[in-house]
């Protein structure tokens, strides 16, 4: 059974509740890293817990939500092995799985409505990775931090 870690900040809190309900309806096990209410918090605290959970394989994938999705994107992509993709439309959600093998979806709670967010999440869950040439590119991403600056 697929397990998904989820987290947000205050700006993503309302959408997190909606997405959690969708995941549960789909019989997906959810690990909720918070927050528990809409009091102001700092997105790096929650983004890193979700990213760590995916890296350690406690869960299969993650979903994080802040106001714009930008801060969370920056945080989660600091973790080797995380391919975090900010998606605000359905086609991006589809491509992020087909070409980028996204393992962490970033949503912008203040930029998109709940209907669109639900469609994005469903698409991201249901679209398989295409592999092939895209796997080669993903392998290169994972090696970026090992490559010395200026080297090919
Ligand atoms: C919080 O006000 C806001 O800065 C945060 O949710 C996010 O949009 C940061 O990138």
Residue with tokens 């350690």: 56
Query: Is 134 among the residues known to form the active site?
Result: no
**What average pLDDT score do residues 7-20 get?**
98
Residue nearest to atom 6 of ligand 1 (CA): 67
User: Could you give the CA distance from residue 5 to residue 109 in angstroms, rounded to a whole number?
Assistant: 17
Structural domains in the chain (count): 1
Confidence bin at 1 (pLDDT 50/70/90): confident
Q: Domain containing 93 — which CATH number?
A: 3.40.1400.10
Expressed in angstroms and rounded, the spacing between residue 21 Cα and the centre of ligand 1 is 23
Confidence bin at 148 (pLDDT 50/70/90): low
The pTM of the full predicted model, rounded to 2 decimals, is: 0.96
Query: Is 66 among the residues known to form the active site?
Result: yes
Q: Which residues contact 147 (CB under 8 A, 6 or more apart)?
A: none
Q: How do strand 3-8 and strand 84-86 relate by DSSP bridges?
A: unpaired
Nearest ligand 1 atom to the CA of 10 is: 6
**What average pLDDT score do residues 84-98 get?**
98
Nearest ligand 1 atom to the CA of 71 is: 10
Q: What range does the domain containing 22 cover?
A: 3-148
Residue with tokens 């709670």: 109
Expressed in angstroms and rounded, the spacing between residue 109 Cα and the centre of ligand 1 is 9
Confidence bin at 150 (pLDDT 50/70/90): low
Residue nearest to atom 5 of ligand 1 (CA): 67
């Amino acid at each position: 059974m697929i397990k998904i870690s989820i987290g947000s900040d205050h700006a993503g809190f309302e959408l997190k509740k909606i997405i959690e309900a969708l995941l549960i309806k789909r019989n997906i096990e959810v690990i909720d890293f918070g927050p528990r209410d809409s009091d102001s918090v700092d997105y790096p605290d929650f983004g890193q817990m979700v990213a760590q959970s995916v890296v350690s394989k406690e869960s299969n994938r993650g979903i994080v939500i802040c106001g714009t999705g930008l801060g969370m994107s920056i945080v989660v992509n600091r973790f080797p092995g995380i391919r975090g993709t900010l998606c605000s439309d359905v086609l991006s959600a589809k491509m992020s799985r087909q070409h980028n093998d996204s393992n962490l979806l970033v949503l912008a709670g203040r930029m998109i409505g709940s209907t669109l967010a639900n469609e994005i999440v469903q698409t991201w869950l249901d679209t398989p990775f295409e592999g092939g040439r895209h796997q080669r590119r993903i392998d290169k991403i994972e090696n970026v931090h090992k490559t010395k600056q200026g080297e090919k």
